[in-house]
Structure 1
């Protein structure tokens, strides 16, 4: 008979109602919508600083976006298509006040290997990267980034900087039809030097000189003394402002110069050329492509062509952005939520694919400018996004006259600080073995970037496994042998440790008793238990004892449950020595 509903306990309903209420609470909303944390407390004084920071970053973002599209092998307007969505999305979902999302040199280089200059591939890759990154955030998989070690990251960034920087030499020289593969690129650039265009060389080197001088001036500005004279304060502010927006100033000056030459009938410079006017249409990303000869490339074929890019690009995008966010959070005394950052990047890429963007991440250079300008909240990104949109709406016809040599100079100056030669000295001083994954990543990345990253990760993984499988065993003689494990005891290390104990204690004459210090052992498994069972039997056959010291409760419970014959254990080395010296049984 069916049980009547009346009188049935309502505890489950109440619990469900409480869970729903908790999920919809204001504190939960603040966790997933960080804008609710700072917007209610927004002060008018912050508005001025956010406007200045947003304007400054915007003037930096526009020329960089144009230049990075060139690195990705796409028409320059795709750099701007990629530069504004992150400004608005991150304002709502980001947890760092300083970070700005957009195209970067490293992401552009990575994309160039997988999209081969095809905008449809680029846009679909953006959508898929966003799905993967948002899925990782929802599943809380940000910990996977911890398996990419510091030497691998530095090896990759140094190699990427060299690859990107040298890849722009062809534009400084005005050369065309240079292969993308690094070693071929080096050969054909040097082979084509006699064919260099004088106008591009002079303009490119002039832009480099100006950018280097302005960078040097900014880095050597003296701190402002207390109560400085007005003219000193104004002069310092002028130098700082000019140096900060140096990329925009150089590109504008080069464009005006190129335009004046073109209207005068002199064609000395290689120009960016025709670009698509206006804002990009808002539409879903394409899931197939029709080629010029009518052949349709299906979604599955595009995914197969992109291949490893669906792993490398999402992971490196997240790694770059979160590393930047953590660095500036530490510098400016606030905390970020790594999984929320991951979600913000993923959502930016998903929505960016609807406006023809290619994959983006956090930009170190623009984030530094944002922080140095004194941004107070993520609202500064809205100003940056508006500047990019205005550039798309009104300035696209003028971008036709931007010389490629000036954009190349901007890229070279942007990536040069990433070549950190000091990391070699640091790794040599701290742990020389870490030079191996660094060098493998660095050198292999010149062949294929993704292979360099994978090679470095695999080598780092083998080094980590080796440490797990070969822990150090410190041996001292107190009449009996005292052996101290310097790390945990896992199944890869069980055979190695038991063999060492057997060799040093039982293969000598006469056999020796052993006190095994296990203070660092946090857990054991079935393989270790069986190895210890055999070792204890060997000790019993030789009429000597093995005493375990400092076993944690969880480890001791496992050993007791395994019912090991002859198991002796105590809390301290001194107590273990006393047990063996008095030749008493301890249980």
Structure 2
């Protein structure tokens, strides 16, 4: 049973309903048709031969589907991950150990993801906000398009590592060297994709565009016009490979592997949850972490680049009826069969055609609706989105965009949460035992209630101190309610303790109500219970208002002959 839990494909096969096979096969065939040009294009974005994208499309897809949680998640090379790969591998371009380090990067990404799944750190992806992902994805789309401009127009770039901006500048500087055949093939591919989308969204426009481009190259001999093609793709299963397990390489690639791992997990879990909201499948983020980790670690030994969940291919799996994780396994098998039997034809794929595919992908990465929604809805999220997007485009290292976005998100959150929620009330008792808020006018009431709410921590302690101080009055009894508190730390509790000490020093009585066992324990260790008196502490009660009712009875018995009238607004105790 434990094996079935950690290798979900075994449970799927054990309880497989044969009636699901035709749906899984149909979905797999459709996804494979899209995956073939996509995986090759993403390998180009990563700066390696398209064959390595195909290898990843086989190995990562099979392993992630076998070990992951989602039934529909399609794993393999993705645009954002490929862009990160190119950034982190740039320092190794031209070196003998390039591929050893590339496969080490794949392994490290998987190892980090696997470890996070084992230690059940699935909730960490929640700290990367939606605004950060939208901003990073939009910025990545712009960079990807900029990076493929030279392939689209057939301009050769100077050797060495160039930033995306440098590539664009070089393209326009050498525009007189533009290859019009390459540009024509690239635009032809884009046109085919767009026309297919207009006719039917389910038509594999990218694959048709590439196939038609291959036919043009083969029948018209376009290579003689200087058109660059993919070249030979090994007609074999993904070859075995060995990562460069050296301490120096691990140090150089560790930070990049961590960023890729986190972005990959955010992509995978977000996509899985989005589809699960429609299929009603329960997603286990930790198991999905393990699945992604196993896929990347395994792929490192089969010549694969790092990958993650693909929104496009996952959506196609769902839309075409894929019911179980077997659909993902079948996708990998189908790509493998294509690689074995049709590889000779792939050598004629023009780089410009793949660049056309990438340009369409890059444009689709900019989620216009999400951008408008974030910008219009929340000013803080809009700022986070814009900073992340601009940092993605202009920062020298891509991970700086993620760091900047997450850091800004947390800073803005801390700023917003720095305000303490304190309501100053005067009690009015009605027939059913409820309390209503009184707009205090004139003299201070004999009994003043402070209702503390939300998260009270060191960041909001200054505001809490200010509001408690402003609410200090000539009341004979201060009743402090803790029932509305979600979290309180020692810094905030010390502020309350100082207020209590002041009130007691002035000869007033302090009553604490709605105290949870956890807060009581903290108070006891701080000797607050001893100072206030155990008889003045009323523990949290299951009945609504019960604690405050008991506390108010105690306060009323202390203050005799007090009557109340008010403008009434019901307040939860």
TM-score by length of 2: 0.84
1 CA distance for matches of 2:494 and 2:232?
A: 73
Q: 1:492 aligns with which of 449, 454, 459?
A: 459
User: What's the secondary structure of 2:512's corresponding residue?
Assistant: strand
2 CA distance for matches of 1:190 and 1:472?
A: 57
Q: Aligned residue for 1:566?
A: 532
Q: Aligned residue for 1:132?
A: 112
1 CA distance for matches of 2:317 and 2:513?
A: 55
What CA deviation, in whole Å up to 9, does each residue of 1:542-569 have, x standing for no partner?
4445443432233234324543223644
Are positions 1:311 and 2:267 aligned together? no
Q: 2:167 aligns with which of 179, 185, 190?
A: 185
2 CA distance for matches of 1:265 and 1:275?
A: 17
Could you tell me how far 1:421 is from its partner in structure 2?
Answer: 2.6
User: What's the secondary structure of 2:532's corresponding residue?
Assistant: coil
2 CA distance for matches of 1:277 and 1:434?
A: 49
Could you tell me how far 1:403 is from its partner in structure 2?
Answer: 0.9
2 CA distance for matches of 1:314 and 1:246?
A: 31
Q: Aligned residue for 1:199?
A: 181
Between 109-118 and 70-79, the greater mean CA deviation after superposition: 109-118
Q: 1:256 aligns with which of 194, 198, 215?
A: 215
Q: 1:540 aligns with which of 493, 504, 511?
A: 504
Q: Aligned in 2, Cα 1:575/1:452: closer, same or farther, shift over 3 Å?
A: same
Alignment of structure 1 residues 290-329 onto 2, 5 Å: 299-329=246-276
Q: Aligned in 2, Cα 1:71/1:415: closer, same or farther, shift over 3 Å?
A: same
Could you tell me how far 1:211 is from its partner in structure 2?
Answer: 0.5
User: What's the secondary structure of 2:73's corresponding residue?
Assistant: coil
TM-score by length of 1: 0.82
Q: Aligned in 2, Cα 1:214/1:475: closer, same or farther, shift over 3 Å?
A: farther
Could you tell me how far 1:574 is from its partner in structure 2?
Answer: 6.4
Q: Aligned in 2, Cα 1:381/1:566: closer, same or farther, shift over 3 Å?
A: closer
What CA deviation, in whole Å up to 9, does each residue of 1:39-64 have, x standing for no partner?
23323332222222222211211111
1 CA distance for matches of 2:385 and 2:449?
A: 38
Q: 2:125 aligns with which of 145, 150, 153?
A: 145
Gaps of 5+ in 2: 426-438, 539-545, 561-573
Could you tell me how far 1:189 is from its partner in structure 2?
Answer: 3.1
Q: Aligned residue for 2:37?
A: 63
- The 8 Å contact of residues 522 and 552 in structure 1, kept in 2 or not, is answered as no
Between 405-414 and 497-506, the greater mean CA deviation after superposition: 497-506
Q: Aligned in 2, Cα 1:431/1:519: closer, same or farther, shift over 3 Å?
A: farther
RMSD: 2.6
- The 8 Å contact of residues 157 and 170 in structure 2, kept in 1 or not, is answered as no
Q: 1:278 aligns with which of 220, 236, 240?
A: 236
Q: Aligned residue for 2:566?
A: none
User: What's the secondary structure of 2:483's corresponding residue?
Assistant: coil
Between 455-464 and 309-318, the greater mean CA deviation after superposition: 455-464
Could you tell me how far 1:265 is from its partner in structure 2?
Answer: 7.2
Q: 2:154 aligns with which of 165, 168, 174?
A: 174
Q: Aligned residue for 1:8?
A: none
What CA deviation, in whole Å up to 9, does each residue of 1:25-50 have, x standing for no partner?
x2x33221222332233233322222
Could you tell me how far 1:396 is from its partner in structure 2?
Answer: 3.3
Q: Aligned in 2, Cα 1:365/1:81: closer, same or farther, shift over 3 Å?
A: same
Are positions 1:454 and 2:403 aligned together? yes
User: What's the secondary structure of 2:480's corresponding residue?
Assistant: strand
Q: Aligned residue for 1:423?
A: 370
Between 44-53 and 186-195, the greater mean CA deviation after superposition: 186-195
Q: Aligned in 2, Cα 1:107/1:533: closer, same or farther, shift over 3 Å?
A: same
Alignment of structure 1 residues 548-563 onto 2, 5 Å: 548-563=512-527
User: What's the secondary structure of 1:376's corresponding residue?
Assistant: coil
Alignment of structure 1 residues 120-519 onto 2, 5 Å: 120-177=100-157, 180-219=162-201, 240=202, 243=203, 245-262=204-221, 266-287=224-245, 299-446=246-393, 447=395, 448-476=397-425, 477-478=439-440, 479-480=444-445, 481-505=448-472, 514-519=478-483
1 CA distance for matches of 2:190 and 2:256?
A: 32
- The 8 Å contact of residues 84 and 385 in structure 1, kept in 2 or not, is answered as yes
- The 8 Å contact of residues 103 and 242 in structure 2, kept in 1 or not, is answered as no
Are positions 1:102 and 2:76 aligned together? yes
